[in-house]
Amino acid sequence: MDETTDCDFLSTDEIQAFLPGFRLEPEPLRATAMSRVYLASDERLHDRKVVVKIMAEYLSEVPGFRKRFLREIELMADLEHPHIMYVIAAAGKKDRLLYFVMPRAEADLQTRLAAGALGPKETARVITQVASALDFAHARGVVHRDVKPANILFGAEDHVYLSDFGVARPALGEDLTQAGDAIGTRRYTAPEVYGASRSERPGADDPHDRSGDVYSLGAVLFHCLTGERPFHQVDDFSVAQLQSEGAVPRIAEIRPELPPEFDAIAAKAMSPDRARRYRTCGELAAAFSRTVARIDAENGHLARRPSRRRHLATAAALVAGLVLGGVLSYQVFGTEASAPYGVAEGSVDTAAFAAVTGDDQVERAPAVGECLTSDERYVVVACDSPAAARRVYRIVTDPEDPNPQQPEHEDAAWQACGSDVIEFDYRWADSAKREEREWNPETDRIYYFVCYQEL
């Protein structure tokens, strides 16, 4: 769902006027409500291939966005390291157009992992390079706070770059995230970083703060070895409790051919206790690389194999365990005016739920991975039922709203649902909808998005 309009962005010809020396392709490579990405050539350096990212004009007027954008550019300019993506050109403090130009990457880790898990040796090579970049930034008082596969890029000959310092925090600088902002990406971000209020977040000069990046690198390690995000089968609400309990998913459950030593490394890196994690990212990378080398020497080559998706029985067992523990994916819709729009308050039994089978239909809030009919209500059906029309692939609670003036929340929905999904639909609840009145951008908030894909 791309709701961008021409008035949100300058035309390609107008952009060219701001960027002499860079020849842009006529059409953007990627477009969202917040930005457009163009392939381009640097005419000053023999048509070197580059990428130009242009932000929507309205974002330059969103409180704090311009400042955060320019601060990211400053951070990346100061962090000169072989494995940190560098900026070739960027907007200045007084420029009307917010943009930056970077070298063109060959691919990113998220795209590669969509094709399957990496082998242990390849994983060690990636993790080692990212760890080098993070430890370099930490030594200079900068913590990244959003390490994930989408921010790990590959250049020529698979040289690894760490990118996107948009929510990074320098030791002596201002935290430009706003009160109520969620830092990072749920499944990769340490619980004390993602879930803390602004006043509770550790500072970059706190030696424990870098442990949040250690946690994230451990989550990336898990994804590389399994081909799945940590806590892949559960929704964001349940992830929070599992993270705080230290319930790190086991690599061996997804790839039983891998040695159990890998589980111990991931569990240490992703411990809910910051003091129990590896002290640095390099220490984590070294522990994993030594283990790979030792096991490879003892048992022969650890072959690369595609990730194996968990069977439905395994997923059902995980859901059952969450039910027994009182952690239901649809508890985000429970009391306190948070039931889904179209489902009456108190009509959802949050004590337990049974998976639907065959052609059965149940009217209740959905969980991630379940399928729904085309009904405006939340009617859950088995995904192989003829009545199944859409699948829930993400539920995002308390999302950040990049454009609070917009009552239909298209920009926030794209940010919550569509960063890695081309075609999607969504429903939401906000305080104005609940009270059946007009949206007030100054005082109202969005409770959640339920993100769908048509079957």
pLDDT above 70: residue 303: no
pLDDT at 63: 64
Domain boundaries, the chain: 6-103, 107-299, 328-454
Selected residue with higher pLDDT from 72 and 109: 109
Top-confidence range, 168-172, 206-210, 299-303: 206-210
State the pLDDT confidence band at 223, using cuts at 50, 70 and 90.
very high
Q: For residue 170, what pLDDT is reported?
A: 52
Contacts for 444-448: CB closer than 8 Å, 24+ residues apart: 445/398, 445/401, 446/398, 446/399, 446/401, 446/409, 446/412, 447/332, 447/337, 447/338, 447/397, 447/398, 448/332, 448/333, 448/338, 448/395, 448/396, 448/397, 448/398, 448/399
* pLDDT(203) > 60: no
The reported pTM is 0.58
Q: Report the percentage of the chain scoring pLDDT > 90.
A: 25
- Say yes or no: domain 6-103 is CATH 3.40.228.10: no
Task: Choose the most confident range, by mean pLDDT, from 4-13, 59-68, 154-163, 237-246.
Answer: 154-163
When mean pLDDT is compared across 53-67, 111-125, 345-359, 407-421, the lowest value belongs to 345-359
Per-residue HEC secondary structure of the chain comes to CCCCCHHHCCCHHHHHHHCCCEEECCCCCEECCCEEEEEEEEHHHCCEEEEEEEECHHHHHCCCHHHHHHHHHHHHHHCCCCCECCCCEECCCCCCCCEEEEECCCEEHHHHHHCCCCCHHHHHHHHHHHHHHHHHHHHCCEECCCCCHHHEEECHHHCEEECCCCCCEECCCCCCCCCCCCCCCHHHCCHHHHCCCHHHCCCCCCCCCHHHHHHHHHHHHHHHHHCCCCCCCCCHHHHHHHHHCCCCCCHHHHCCCCCCHHHHHHHHHCCCCHHHCCCCHHHHHHHHHHHHHHHHHHHCCCCCCCCCCCCHHHHHHHHHHHHHCCCCHHHHHCCCCCCCCCCCCCCCCCCCCCCCCCCCEEECCCCCCCEECCCCCCEEECCCCCCCCEEEEEEEECCCCCCCCCCCCHHHHHHHHCCCCCCCEEEEEEHHHHCCCCCCCCCCCEEEEEEEEEC
Using one digit for the tens of pLDDT, what is the confidence trace for 308-336? 333 333 333 333 333 333 232 333 443 33
Q: Which tops the pLDDT comparison, 124 or 366?
A: 124
Q: CB-based burial of residue 237 (10 Å sphere; 0-12 exposed, 13-18 middle, 19+ buried)?
A: buried
- Residue 90: predicted pLDDT: 86
Q: Is the pLDDT of residue 159 over 80?
A: yes
Could you say which of 146, 213, 401, 430 is catalytic?
146
H or E element that contains 307: none
Which CATH number does 107-299 carry? 1.10.510.10
Reported as a pLDDT band with limits 50, 70 and 90, residue 353 is low
Q: What is the mean pLDDT of residues 181-210?
A: 61
The mean per-residue pLDDT over the stretch 366-388 comes to 88
- In this model, does residue 186 exceed pLDDT 80? no
Question: For 389-408, what is the mean pLDDT?
Answer: 87
Neighbours of 414 (CB within 10 A): 22
Lowest mean per-residue pLDDT among 164-173, 315-324, 355-364, 436-445: 315-324
In angstroms, the CA 239 to CA 235 distance is: 6
> Which of the four pLDDT bands, split at 50, 70 and 90, describes residue 4?
very low
Q: Is the pLDDT of residue 382 over 70?
A: yes
* 146 in catalytic set: yes
Q: Residue 91's pLDDT is what?
A: 85
Q: Pick from 126, 419, 119, 413: which is nearest to 295 by CA?
A: 119
Q: How confident is the model at residue 83 (pLDDT cuts 50, 70, 90)?
A: very high
In this prediction, residue 302 carries a pLDDT of 46
- Higher-scoring residue by pLDDT: 284, 145: 284
What does the pLDDT average to over 175-197? 60
Question: By mean pLDDT, which of 12-21, 101-110, 129-138, 175-184 is the weakest?
Answer: 175-184
By mean pLDDT, which of 30-39, 114-123, 136-145, 432-441 is the weakest?
30-39
Q: Which two tokens stand for residue 162?
A: 């760490």
Mean pLDDT confidence for 339-357 = 44
Q: What is the pLDDT of residue 350?
A: 32
